[in-house]
Structure 1
Amino acid sequence: MTTVLTTLTKPLTAVLAKLRIDPFIAGILATVGVASLLPASGAIAHGFGVATNIAVGLLFFLYGARLSTQETVDGLRHWRLHVVVLCATFVLFPLLGLATAVLPSGLLSPQLYTGVLFLCVLPSTVQSSIAFTSIARGNVAAAICSASLSNMLGIVFTPLLVALLLATDGGGINGSAVLDIVLQLLVPFVAGQLARRWIGDWITRHSAPLKIFDRGSILLVVYTAFSAGMTEGIWHRIDLVSLLVLAAVCAAILGLVLSITGAGSKLLGFGRADRITILFCGSKKSLASGLPMATVLFGHDRVGLIVLPLMLFHQIQLIVCAALARRYARQALPAPDGDLVRAA
């Protein structure tokens, strides 16, 4: 199967290489285009949602089967890295969100400003953070622990920060979200760890299918999320100038977080693999967690424009981080002892 996919995609990859376009980024943009023209709705959208959940569970099963138990334990013990990621997610981001209040009046409507603040108090993504860390050859075990911890703590931290920074309609977070995280992330990962003794070697020898699955799962998330926005019609409720300003704000916040986490992790003495993990886990915001949280916290009548900054930020972070992940992957070469070294 892998050989067939490689043969079919080789001509397209060659053309994109000549044009200096990253195939992964091209795939993300193409997926956005397809979702814009042919968004999933109704039963089809529900089917894509189920497929996304299955893909996430299978991805974590494969990660569990690929990582040794010692690597997992080391990831759990890496408390300094987790503290840095949590500080970036729940301290740095909210401060940058509050800083957008200095923008001239009229550039962002009250609802869009609320949406920016809401975006900044959300937990990190899990799937794409780990996938990009894997592509960039970072510390995947630490990324799994850090991103999962961020999501679980976000169930508590996000509503508290919303209550502190925003005036909301009330409502709490349903405890079933914690169960969803456990069932979709922790259970498959533990199952993969238990199955490692039988399939671990096969997973290691066939790394190409796992890479394809990493990228494919991200494209599935992009299509599902963008389809939801199209069917809600939120793109027709904002003018072009406001949309461009909002995109610039989202890009500026992402750029600042990437710069601060990149430089800060280096100053703190983290190794290359850990710096990659901090960069990707600390700079993401979860659309999957944000959409249901927004519905609970703000109500269905207000949620449309409030989640627009999150949807826009989500697309920007995927495109930028895809480019960064591929850049890190090209810069890393396998050393004779199996470690990664910087390419000259």
Structure 2
Amino acid sequence: MTKPPAAPARFPFLTDPMIAVLVIATALALLLPAAGEARATATTVSNVGIFVLFLVNGMRIRRSEIARGLANWRYFGPLMLFVFGAMALGGLGFASLAGNVLPPLVALGFVYLGCLPSTVQSATSYTSLAQGNVALSVVGAALINIAGVLVSAPLFALLGGGGAGEIGGEAIIRIVLILVLPFAIGQAVQDRFIDKLIAHKSTAAWLDRAVIGIAVYVAFSGAVEQGLATMFAPADWAALIVLVLAMLGLALASAWGTAVLLGLPRPDRIAFLFAGSQKSVAIGAPLAAILFPPASAGFVIAPLLLYHLAQLVLAAPLALRLAKDAD
């Protein structure tokens, strides 16, 4: 007799290894921050890891998926505008609010958060759990992340202004060499390696987590050395959490409302909801390690890390509710 499929966990985020990686990296930075020569070594290791990660990403995102997504411009055009337009402007608005109660670099982190692409794995997983259009979600997430490599940094520079938001020639060179070049190489050699990557999918997933963990560790090490504990009072953490939850709630409501206004069928609306509202720490943490000095990066990515956790917490019950409504 065939066993029935196991019921999905009510709170799958609790079993997500990425949460443990982020918690461990942050705790390690608080207890044993990398400083001096150790920081230089950790930064080099982080940059090498980021290069390898984007090389693998170039290998595993099929060119056929990219072509198929570009053909469906009536869906992906509005989705791109929402992710890099509406969300970026929303981040700018929340940064203005945060500037009244939080340190400037943390407030700037809301602009950075708004400019990032959406997640790949979790957006697809929750679209499936909610009985949405999984194929559309997979292609959409791939296209958005490819665009994010090229769009997020200049968009952030445009909206973030000067200071930490200023991107000079050196940062552009690092982005090209560490993000764009390995991705392009991966696309070029994809046919030789994609089957092996599919066969070792779990190993590739742990590569993602390890690289993100190292980038977060390096970023928060710099913040700790700059006095994170003394600059951030409990009231500041409370204000940051409230603002992050408000931004996520607005993102979810706006993504669903936009999909309704576009007249998308329900499965496509669900795909739009998760692809439009979620933000990728897999792009955000490595990109921050390239854009910002370690003394600034930890403050800037603080809203991103909390947003990532919050989106996982809320996405699970939301997806189950959407699935129940569909039934």
TM-score greater than 0.5 by the shorter chain: yes
Instruction: Identify which of 188, 191, 209 aligns with 1:194.
Output: 188
Counterpart of 1:214 in structure 2: which amino acid?
D
How much is the aligned-residue C-alpha RMSD, in angstroms?
Answer: 4.3
Counterpart of 2:275 in structure 1: which amino acid?
T
1:120-144 CA distance string (max 9 Å, x none): 3326346x83464566676455434
My pick for the range that moved more, 310-319 or 202-211, is 310-319
Structure 2 residue aligned with 1:118: 108
Give the deviation of 1:29 after TM superposition.
Answer: 1.9
Structure 2 residue aligned with 1:314: 304
Residue correspondence of structure 1 range 265-304 to structure 2 within 5 A: 265=259, 268=262, 269=264, 270=268, 272-281=270-279, 286=284
C-alpha separation in 1, matches of 2:178 and 2:64: 22
Structure 1 residue aligned with 2:5: none
1:210-233 CA distance string (max 9 Å, x none): 122222232222222222211221
Structure 1 residue aligned with 2:47: 53
Structure 1 residue aligned with 2:88: 90
**1:63 is aligned to 2:54:** no
C-alpha separation in 2, matches of 1:55 and 1:68: 22
Counterpart of 2:36 in structure 1: which amino acid?
G
C-alpha separation in 2, matches of 1:70 and 1:187: 20
Counterpart of 1:124 in structure 2: which amino acid?
C
Structure 2 residue aligned with 1:180: 174
Structure 1 residue aligned with 2:32: 38
C-alpha separation in 1, matches of 2:47 and 2:289: 15
Instruction: Identify which of 102, 108, 114 aligns with 2:101.
Output: 108
Scaled by the length of structure 1, the TM-score of the pair is 0.68
Give the deviation of 1:235 after TM superposition.
Answer: 2.1
Scaled by the length of structure 2, the TM-score of the pair is 0.71
Counterpart of 2:211 in structure 1: which amino acid?
S
Partners of 1:88 and 1:282 within 8 A in 2: no
Give the deviation of 1:208 after TM superposition.
Answer: 1.6
Counterpart of 1:108 in structure 2: which amino acid?
V
C-alpha separation in 1, matches of 2:142 and 2:150: 12
Report how many residues are paired: 300
Q: In structure 2, do the counterparts of structure 1 residues 235 and 135 end up closer, same or farther at CA, with 3 Å as the change threshold?
A: farther
Identity of aligned residues (%): 21
Give the deviation of 1:188 after TM superposition.
Answer: 1.6
Partners of 2:115 and 2:155 within 8 A in 1: no
Partners of 1:130 and 1:140 within 8 A in 2: yes
Query: What secondary structure sits across from 1:245 in the alignment?
Result: helix
Q: In structure 2, do the counterparts of structure 1 residues 290 and 222 end up closer, same or farther at CA, with 3 Å as the change threshold?
A: closer
C-alpha separation in 1, matches of 2:27 and 2:316: 22
Residue correspondence of structure 1 range 223-302 to structure 2 within 5 A: 223-265=217-259, 268=262, 269=264, 270=268, 272-281=270-279, 286=284
Give the deviation of 1:285 after TM superposition.
Answer: 9.2
Give the deviation of 1:343 after TM superposition.
Answer: 11
Give the deviation of 1:174 after TM superposition.
Answer: 0.5
C-alpha separation in 2, matches of 1:287 and 1:57: 13
Query: What secondary structure sits across from 2:115 in the alignment?
Result: coil
Structure 2 residue aligned with 1:221: 215
Structure 2 residue aligned with 1:11: none
Structure 1 residue aligned with 2:68: 74
C-alpha separation in 1, matches of 2:283 and 2:304: 7
Q: In structure 2, do the counterparts of structure 1 residues 156 and 202 end up closer, same or farther at CA, with 3 Å as the change threshold?
A: closer
Partners of 1:250 and 1:312 within 8 A in 2: no
Give the deviation of 1:234 after TM superposition.
Answer: 2.5
C-alpha separation in 1, matches of 2:185 and 2:326: 36
Counterpart of 1:252 in structure 2: which amino acid?
A
Partners of 2:109 and 2:304 within 8 A in 1: no
Q: In structure 2, do the counterparts of structure 1 residues 327 and 220 end up closer, same or farther at CA, with 3 Å as the change threshold?
A: farther
Counterpart of 2:101 in structure 1: which amino acid?
L
Q: In structure 2, do the counterparts of structure 1 residues 120 and 34 end up closer, same or farther at CA, with 3 Å as the change threshold?
A: closer
Give the deviation of 1:326 after TM superposition.
Answer: 7.5
Give the deviation of 1:85 after TM superposition.
Answer: 0.8
Counterpart of 1:320 in structure 2: which amino acid?
A
Partners of 2:50 and 2:179 within 8 A in 1: yes
Counterpart of 1:91 in structure 2: which amino acid?
L
